[in-house]
Amino acid sequence: MTGIVKYVKESFEELKSHVSWPSFNEGLNLTVLVAVFSVIFSLIIWGLDSAFSRVIKEFFNLIS
């Protein structure tokens, strides 16, 4: 149990003193960028899924 507490304390100390945090505006810009690319990527995946679904459906209609 002591090892876990020591690990958590050292982790918080490293976060406070050794990590360079982005500014608020930079963090906001990066968050928006990630959100936009997530939406774009999900739309691409949805489009591919819809296209493959139609192809599979037509294939099974053709062979039945």
| 11-61 pLDDT tens trace | 999 988 888 889 999 999 999 999 999 999 999 999 999 999 999 999 999
Is residue 53 in a domain?
yes
Is residue 60 in a domain?
yes
Is residue 8 in a domain?
no
Total domains present in the chain: 1
Can you read off the two tokens belonging to residue 35? 């959100």
Can you read off the two tokens belonging to residue 22? 């982005």
Is residue 9 in a domain?
no
- Indicate the residue type of 47: G
pTM of the model: 0.65
Tokens 């360079």 sit on residue: 20
Is residue 17 in a domain?
no
Q: Which domain holds residue 63?
A: 22-64
* Alpha carbon distance, N-terminus to C-terminus of the chain: 64
